[in-house]
Amino acid sequence: MEMDRFKVVDALQNPDYIILTSYDYKRMEEALISDKLHDYKWDPKFSEEWYRFHPPSEKVFRFYDEILNNKGMEYEYRLIKKFEKNIFVPIEFPPPQIRIYEKLKK
C-alpha cells in the first residue's frame, strides 16, 4: 500500500491543501478590513504594528483575501473542515482554531 507524502510548502505555490490556524487568519482578517491596507499594500507608517516590522507582501494579502473571502480569482480553494476550540476555562495560551482548505480542480 503506497502512502501519500505531504510536505510543507509556501501557500503561494498553490498546494492541494492549505492548513491555516487562527494565529494566521485572524490577523489577516483584521488587516483586510483595515484602513491601513490600500490595494493590498500595507501603509508603511504602520509597519511597527506587524511582527518584526515586516508587513506581508501584496501577493500574501491577495492570497488571504481570496481564500478567506472566497473570491477565488487566482487561488481557488474551498473550506473542507473547521476545528473550533471548545475550551470554556480561561487559560493563558488557548489552542488555535484550525481551518483546512482544498484546492478546487479545474
- In this predicted structure, what is the pLDDT of residue 14? 86
- In this predicted structure, what is the pLDDT of residue 2? 58
Question: Which tens digits make up the pLDDT trace of 13-54?
Answer: 888 899 999 888 888 999 999 999 999 999 988 888 876 778
56 domain residue, yes or no: yes
Range of the domain at 58: 19-103
Q: What is the pTM of this model?
A: 0.79
Number of domains in the chain: 1
Using alpha carbons, list the distances in angstroms from residue 96 to 40, 46, 79, 103.
26, 26, 17, 22
Cell numbers linked to 49:
504594528
For the chain, report the end-to-end CA distance as a whole number of angstroms: 28
80 domain residue, yes or no: yes
Question: Which tens digits make up the pLDDT trace of 49-105?
Answer: 876 778 889 999 999 999 998 887 788 899 999 998 776 777 777 778 999 999 987
8 domain residue, yes or no: no
6 domain residue, yes or no: no
Q: Indicate the SS3 state at residue 84.
A: coil
58 domain residue, yes or no: yes
45 domain residue, yes or no: yes
Using alpha carbons, list the distances in angstroms from residue 90 to 84, 93, 95.
15, 9, 11
9 domain residue, yes or no: no
83 domain residue, yes or no: yes
